[in-house]
Amino acid sequence: MEPVHGSSLKRLNSASEDRISRMPDDVLTDIMDHLPIEDAVRTSILSRNWRYKWHSLTQLRLNLGKHSCCIERNISTILLSLNGPVTNFDLCVKHYYVSDVVDISSWVLFLSRKGIKKLTIFNFYQTLELPNHLFSCSELKHMSLYKCCFHLPTNFRGFPNLLTLDLSHVVFKSGTYGKFISQCPLLKSLTIFVSFRTIGETIKLMEIANVERLNVLSLPFYMLENITTTACVFHLLGYFPQLQELHLDFRTCKFLADGDKDKLFFSPSLKVVSLSVVDFSNTIMLSFIVELICCSPNLKTLRITEGIKELYFIVLIYL
């Protein structure tokens, strides 16, 4: 192999740089959208042509930890420099002092004006209070919140385009889970996780019954108000004819005998069932599991756990 001399190497590097720079703007934007925001902004030093290319970013990923003070202080300036819509905003807060630096309110206000469609906030320190600007993000289709809280406005009209909702350790300082969910008519996937009872976490069955397009439902069963028998599970499923996945946490549930049951329930769409914290010494609970299997002819996967230890993993092909 012939050695590459200095002039040849320079031409080779120049040609490679030209090929990248000549890519269509939408391709370059897609590449930078997959970079951490600090790396995307740093592309401005590559050349004069690259100086403002990051201004077309549509997806922002912020990972705020112990060593990210500089980027935190410049986020608002960066956001105001963006030209077009911002469809995806992913924020991860990992360190305690971040709340002293971050202006979450102004960020969410900015996003509400930029057509945000996917919002993810993972907060691993003290509960992060979100501003009411969040409820102006009417174009949202996917929202995932971890360890956040907010006041639900009295004039809340919902998220008319929301398809997936994941709420983990979310606290309502005003309003309730039920009111929030009932205002999301197109919802297809709903996941709720709380490890202990808090004010405002109870859900009335009729509040989520309006969200009849659900394909995936995951929640602690005790959050449903006035639910004391296993027959109530079948009442719940009856509201969601398109439901394909059901994940229920039976922690703290003490079921009573059902007494007179309704007619046999039938759920042809249900394919995946996951039941956690099941009391295997409770004959009522065991009877419920058998009945649920028998009433779900297309069930493919059943997972049952007792506490944190998984006891069974069953793949059902024919029943």
Statement to judge: residues 102 and 180 lie in one domain: yes
Q: Which of 45-54, 179-188, 222-231, 304-313 has the lowest mean pLDDT?
A: 304-313
Percent of the chain with pLDDT over 70: 76
- In percent, the amount of the chain with pLDDT more than 90 equals 19
- Sorting pLDDT into bands at 50, 70 and 90, what band is 225? confident
Same domain flag for 159 and 271 = no
The token duo for 230 is 């296993």
Note down the domain range covering 277.
215-319
pLDDT at 95: 65
pLDDT band at 12 (very low <50, low <70, confident <90, very high): very low
> Residue 309 phi/psi, 5° resolution?
-95, 125
Residues 37 and 120 placed together within one structural domain of the fold: no
Instruction: Specify the pairing of strand 301-306 against strand 309-315.
Output: antiparallel
151 and 176 in a single domain? The answer is: yes
Q: Both 86 and 172 in a single domain? A: yes
Cβ atoms of 225 and 200 within 8 Å: the answer is: no
Q: What does the pLDDT read at residue 265?
A: 67
pLDDT in tens, 92-124: 887 655 555 457 788 888 888 888 999 999 888
Provide DSSP, 157-190: ---TT--EEEEES-EEEES-HHHHHHT-TT--EE
Say if residue 62 is in the same domain as residue 184.
yes
Q: How many domains does the chain have?
A: 3
Q: What values do phi and psi take at 62, rounded to 5? A: -115, 125
Which class for 277: exposed (0-12), middle (13-18), buried (19 or more C-beta within 10 A)? Answer: middle
Q: Answer with the residue of higher pLDDT: 301 or 38.
A: 301
pLDDT in tens, 69-79: 556 567 778 88
Q: Which two tokens stand for residue 300?
A: 């493919």
Place of tokens 């099941």: 278
CB atoms inside a 10 Å sphere around CB 314 = 12
Does pTM surpass 0.85? Answer: no
Q: Domain check: are 80 and 170 in the same one? A: yes
> DSSP labels for 89-156?
EEEEE-SGGGGGT--HHHHHHHHHTTT--EEEEEE-SSPEEPPGGGGG-TT--EEEEESEEEEPPTT-
Asked whether residue 62 falls in the same domain as residue 179, the answer is yes
Residues 39 and 157 in one domain: no
Asked, for residue 299, whether it belongs to a domain, the answer is yes
